């Protein structure tokens, strides 16, 4: 049936409005500078594809870093990252959240530790809560993270913090405040990333030094996504049970996620502070409270 011109115009307008709403609600962010700013060595961060991707550069002059323009209290943040290929020993590419509150800081870290060619890339995770850290765990990645982009995600809600690699959970830190374990829940955190030299500890405990003849070193980022309660913002946002990341489906791992989590822990974990008797003759309380 033929549509009258006025009806066709109305349908076209409604479709356009729906598309515009969809893009504003779900297509975030469009470019790096929408949510982030360079915090360290502007000359070593290069925007690509109109700012939809960036390149971080490390050379003998400097590393570099960037941070979100705002802080957030609970939510989910993810980025697609392609790490340094080849001989990257002594380098660290970090993606983390930090409250920037000195001695009482809260922090949630992904740290990708460079390697010698042919060795697996190690990702170290760490959590600071109320100023206390030293909760390192290390996992060897089961793929080459320098060959292509992979998605790294931090989910943070009132129930737990989960680190994901391509939707595979590699670490869970539960809210066990009821057992006296500190949990980050009061301080908003910004989103940060850095590329820097750390050959005093990064690769085999500092035994493998950075090879500057391979410099400059490059890592790449795209698909920046932050969904959370921005601060300053509505006062009731962080406590709202209607936020999707607080929903029942995100309060614990589902059956598939738990199987994947166990697979990573059994096959790819190479260090866990919970089992390091030289550092902790008595396991910290969070280690005894279940994963």
Residues annotated catalytic, as ranges? 107, 111
Is 227 strand, coil or helix? strand
**Residue 22: burial class (beta carbons within 10 Å; 0-12, 13-18, 19+):** exposed
Calpha distance 23→186 (Å, rounded):
32
Q: State the DSSP string of 135-154.
A: --EEEE-SS-TTTS-EEEEE
Calpha distance 111→22 (Å, rounded):
34
Calpha distance 148→150 (Å, rounded):
7
CA proximity to 80, closest of 145, 30, 141, 130: 145
- What is the number of alpha carbons within 13 Å of residue 47 lying toward its C-beta? 15
């Amino acid at each position: 049936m033929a549509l009258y011109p006025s009806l066709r115009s109305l349908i076209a307008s409604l479709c356009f409005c729906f598309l515009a709403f969809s893009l504003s609600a779900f297509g975030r962010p469009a470019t790096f500078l929408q949510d982030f700013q360079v915090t360290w060595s502007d000359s070593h961060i290069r925007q690509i594809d109109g700012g939809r991707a960036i390149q971080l550069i490390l050379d003998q002059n400097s590393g570099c870093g960037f941070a979100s323009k705002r802080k957030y209290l609970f939510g989910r943040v993810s980025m697609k990252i392609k790490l340094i290929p080849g001989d990257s020993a002594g380098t660290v590419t970090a993606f983390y959240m930090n409250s920037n509150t000195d001695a009482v800081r809260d922090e949630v870290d992904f740290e990708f530790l460079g390697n010698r060619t042919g060795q697996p890339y190690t990702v170290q995770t760490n959590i600071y809560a109320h100023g206390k850290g030293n909760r390192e765990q290390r996992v060897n990645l089961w793929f080459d993270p320098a060959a292509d982009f992979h998605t790294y995600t931090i989910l943070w809600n009132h129930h737990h913090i989960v680190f994901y690699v391509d939707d595979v959970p590699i670490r869970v830190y539960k809210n066990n405040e009821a057992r006296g374990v500190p949990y980050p829940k009061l301080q908003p955190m910004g989103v940060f990333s850095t590329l820097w030299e750390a050959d005093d500890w990064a690769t085999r405990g500092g035994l493998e030094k950075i090879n500057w003849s391979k410099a400059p070193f490059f890592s790449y980022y795209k698909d920046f996504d932050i969904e959370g309660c921005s601060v300053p913002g509505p006062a009731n946002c962080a406590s709202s049970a209607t936020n999707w990341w607080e929903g029942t489906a995100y309060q614990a791992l589902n059956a598939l996620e738990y199987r994947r989590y166990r697979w990573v822990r059994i096959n790819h974990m190479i260090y866990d502070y919970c089992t390091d008797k030289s550092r902790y003759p008595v396991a910290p309380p969070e280690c005894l409270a279940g994963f």
